[in-house]
Chain A
Amino acid sequence: MIWLTWRQHRAVLVTTAVLAAVAVVPWASGWLDLIQEVIRWAFAGVVAVFWGAPLLAREFEERTYFLAWGQDVSPLSWFLGKSLVLCGAFSLLTLLIEPGQVGYSLLGFAVGVLSGLIVRRTVAAMAATALVFVALRINLGPVASAVLGAALFVVTVTMLRHVARTRPRGTADGTPAPAGFGWWTRFRATRRVRLSWFRDA
């Protein structure tokens, strides 16, 4: 999982690490101090929008989840492995920059992943993450953020288990669900199946 995570996310990992390095090195110049201030202030948001949101949304959008979740590794351990590696990486970076912000980073990542799972489109998930995260970030302390982040993570895992189990769910006559995996499309595609559950029961 470490290799896979590195391989798929190295660009964003390296870019964020560079950002963190800029924020940590003592430059002793007015301009760079200000940029450091901005990075410190926005780091958890960067984690939320650029690490969390695309994690699941991209798999859905590019339909690579067919491939990713069809391997020996079950979807759940795929997700837990990736999250563990990424959480370790951004926690380390946040600790370097501003130790008090680890809770916010965790919350941001959890919000991003969950909105990616719900929205299933990268750009839309990023927008939703930014909105929700800013609202939560202003109102919560670091500890409450970490707790809420953990709770959201549990919700994500539960939802993901459900999604992965009921995956390739098509229409009643066996044709696959149409492309465009928005919730409305899926709802329309699976409505007849769900109605048939009631009829059978």
Chain B
Amino acid sequence: MKAMVWLTWRQHRWVLLSTAVLALIASSLLVAVDLTESPGRSVPLPAFYAVLLQTAFGAVIGMFWGAPLVAREFEERTHLVAWGQDVTPQRWLAGKVGVLAVFALVLAVLMGQGDGFRGYQDGASWALFEAHPLVQAGYVLLGLALGVLFGLLARHTLTAMAFTLAAYVGVRMLLALGWREHYLPAERAVAPVREAASVPKGAEIVASGYLGGDGEPMAVPDICARLSRPAACIAANGGTDSYVDYQPVERVFGFQVTEFLVCFLLALGLFVLAHERIRRGWRPSRTHRRLA
């Protein structure tokens, strides 16, 4: 174990250190902006850079820590040395990933400290969902797992980095725009058809529309959809109420925990896949067989 820590530090210290410096700068900028008292919700430019890094931090870890981890060994053919020691390949992988994951989690907690808006936002907000240590921790693990697995499959650093980036962006979009709203069934606010349903402050609106006589959401008829004020037309076509489905702001923390768990389980699955793949033995790739 101690040997794996030493080896990992020795081989990856530059990328670890530079990422740590970057994360330190970004998080101090975010927190500094948080602590300023001046009102307003705009993001100053330095903090905007930090917010960018916060949004993309899992991708950075995946591309620059995860993807080259195994891919570089194959590419430079140092896997012959690395996996020809007392330590079996799967223990080598587990050790390295473990050390890197711990380091990444520390940085993730750092990155989740501030949100980059002027003035400290007490209480949760859907708009700042990602500015939380737990959520960042989940993303970092997911990125690392994707990177390691693609590195193992592609055996080529650049290719692995590109695939990691694409996959991470895809999963991240799916989580943020698709799944997140549905971790719990949405609550529904209902009002008479000619009035707008009122939604509690800070809630995230999931869907809105009209309810038919049976209390189920109804499809808006084409003739009404063209109107700017369709309420009367809807009422004439059998609509009784208007509704808004929303996630109240009190659920933010629970959803952040859920998002961490989703990412954690995904990452665990990917790590297990990588582990199994390396345990069942790496054969020379087709290109290497052809060369040999």
Contacts and interface: CB of A to CB of B under 8 A. Distances in A.
Contacts of B64: 123, 126-127
A104 to B, nearest CB: 16
Contacts of B170: 35
A89 interface: no
B158 interface: yes
A127 B18 contact: yes
Given A134-B52, A135-B49, A38 B173 contact: yes
| Contact residues on A (Cβ < 8 Å of other chain), bracket | 10 to 19
Contact of B157 (A12, A123, A135): A123
Interface of A: 11-12, 15, 31, 34-35, 38, 50, 54, 122-124, 126-127, 134-135, 138
Contacts of A135: 49
A31 B14 CA distance: 38
Interface in B34-62: 45, 48-49, 52
Contacts of A15: 162
B81 interface: no
A119 to B, nearest CB: 11
A38 B176 CA distance: 14
Interface residues of B, number: 21
Interface SS of chain A: helix, strand, loop or mixed? Answer: helix
Contact of B48 (A12, A124, A138): A138
B173 A34 contact: yes
A134 B49 contact: yes
B226 to A, nearest CB: 19
A54 B157 CA distance: 11
B159 to A, nearest CB: 7
B169 interface: yes
A135 B53 CA distance: 12
A177 to B, nearest CB: 19
A27 to B, nearest CB: 15
27 contacts: A11-B159, A12-B158, A12-B162, A15-B162, A31-B178, A34-B173, A34-B177, A35-B170, A38-B173, A50-B158, A122-B157, A123-B15, A123-B64, A123-B68, A123-B72, A123-B157, A123-B161, A124-B14, A126-B161, A127-B15, A127-B64, A134-B49, A134-B52, A135-B49, A138-B45, A138-B48, A138-B49
B56 to A, nearest CB: 9
Contacts of A31: 178
A135 B45 CA distance: 10
Interface in B113-154: none
